[in-house]
Amino acid sequence: MADLRYHVDGDLVPADEATVSVRDRGFMYGDAVFETLRAYGEEVFRWDAHAERLARSAAAIELDHGLDSGELKRRIDETLRANDLEDAYVKLSVTRGVQPGKLTPSPDVDPTVVVQAKPLPRGGVDAEPIWDGPATLQTVKTRRVPDAAIPSQAKTHNYLNGILARLELRVSDADEAVMLDADGHLAEGATSNLFFVDGDALCTPSLDGPVLPGITREEVLDIAGQEGIPVNEGSFTPEDLRDAEEAFVTNTTWEVRPVETVDGINIGGGPVTTLFQRVYDARIEREHYGGERI
Ligand code: PLP
């Protein structure tokens, strides 16, 4: 890791020396937006979707950073090439930068832009997954911040909500925290979207609730359409998840990860989860490695 180089404000610098100002608003207040991406075979997966979400996040917090999607992609590509990374975890952050010391942001933004990348061996259903087995989930007391407080579609550096949720896992040692909305309905994981199987249907909390529109979530819904699997995007209770026939969580790093238990109750993967894993993997194989579709 010591040899890795990160992109900081247009320059590639050794990761150990990559720093931002203590007066940066991203550091001081979490006043920044970011994307976590994965590169397969030197190319980031679903760049357009990530670029659009970053733009929506920036708009939601009125951060007019002035960088277009092509320039951001150029910096990501440069970071991947500089580190000779083919399959990688990539994090792109854009902060509101340093401004005069007051909470109210100024419209004059000199953003701080950072790209971090590190090797991440490719997983997939037939290879060693990058996660350590199916996920164990625990419903936590920490509620998902309502959309009316912090826009749920914005992926910002302010991750205290998820951190507090994950802190609750210390006792059970579960992998992921299931957060409920203010009314006690399922929202999402601390860093993942939730899916479960009920009869014929694939169920997932709708984006009407406080749920980040995951890029992997979108891909799974697209796969469901392709495979003719009915989708129920709605409002669900923790019992619905605990009673599910199958469940899985999704994010860019975990891809489609089966759920083993919820609150200690066995769920386990199954044929539907395996189908989504296989098709997701096949799309990556086809688009990034020139492989055949399954
Ligand atoms: N929900 C939250 C709160 C997240 O932080 C993430 C990803 O980190 C996700 C969902 C999944 O999003 P994606 O599939 O775009 O990685």
Q: What is the pLDDT of residues 33-55, one digit of tens each?
A: 999 999 999 999 999 999 999 99
| Residue after which a domain boundary falls, among 67, 86, 119 | 119
| Residue after which a domain boundary falls, among 89, 119, 149 | 119
User: What is the four-CA torsion angle of 138, 139, 145, 151, rounded to 10 degrees?
Assistant: 70
Check if 215 has its Cβ closer than 6 Å to any atom of ligand 1: yes
Check if 216 has its Cβ closer than 6 Å to any atom of ligand 1: yes
151-178 tens-digit pLDDT: 999 999 999 999 999 999 999 999 999 9
Cα–Cα distance for residue pair 6/1, rounded to 1 Å: 11
Same domain, 164 and 272: yes
DSSP annotation of 293: P
Residue 227 C-alpha from the chain's centroid: 24
Query: Pick from 61, 68, 67: which is nearest to 155 by CA?
Result: 61
Check if 204 has its Cβ closer than 6 Å to any atom of ligand 1: no
Same domain, 280 and 160: yes
Same domain, 201 and 280: yes
Residue 129 lies in a domain: no
The chain-wide mean pLDDT, for the chain, equals 95
Determine the distance separating the centroid of ligand 1 and the alpha carbon of 292, expressed in angstroms: 28
What CATH number did the domain enclosing 20 receive? 3.30.470.10
pLDDT over 90 at 290, yes or no: no
58-110 tens-digit pLDDT: 999 999 999 999 999 999 999 999 999 999 999 999 999 999 879 999 999 99
Global pTM reads 0.96
Residue 124 lies in a domain: no
| Residue after which a domain boundary falls, among 119, 151, 167 | 119
**Residue 12 structure tokens:** 């590639």
Determine the distance separating the centroid of ligand 1 and the alpha carbon of 251, expressed in angstroms: 5
What CATH number did the domain enclosing 161 receive? 3.20.10.10
pLDDT above 90 as % of the chain: 90
Determine the distance separating the centroid of ligand 1 and the alpha carbon of 92, expressed in angstroms: 14
Cα–Cα distance for residue pair 74/93, rounded to 1 Å: 14
Check if 129 has its Cβ closer than 6 Å to any atom of ligand 1: no
Beta strands in the chain (DSSP E): 5-8, 11-14, 32-40, 43-44, 88-95, 112-119, 135-139, 176-180, 186-189, 193-198, 201-205, 231-234, 246-251, 255-262, 265-266
User: What is the four-CA torsion angle of 37, 43, 45, 51, rounded to 10 degrees?
Assistant: 70
Residue 126 lies in a domain: no
Query: Pick from 209, 179, 206: which is nearest to 192 by CA?
Result: 179
Query: Pick from 222, 262, 225: which is nearest to 245 by CA?
Result: 262
- The pLDDT, as a whole number, for residue 169 is 98
Same domain, 223 and 265: yes
Nearest CA to ligand 1 atom 12: 214
> How crowded is residue 279: how many other Cβ atoms within 10 Å of its Cβ?
20
Determine the distance separating the centroid of ligand 1 and the alpha carbon of 141, expressed in angstroms: 20
Same domain, 51 and 107: yes
Contact (Cβ atoms closer than 8 angstroms) between residue 220 and residue 164: no
Same domain, 153 and 277: yes
Structural domain span for residue 141 = 135-289
Check if 57 has its Cβ closer than 6 Å to any atom of ligand 1: no
Phi, psi of 43 (to 5 degrees): -120, 135
Same domain, 58 and 164: no
Cα–Cα distance for residue pair 102/93, rounded to 1 Å: 22
Check if 251 has its Cβ closer than 6 Å to any atom of ligand 1: yes
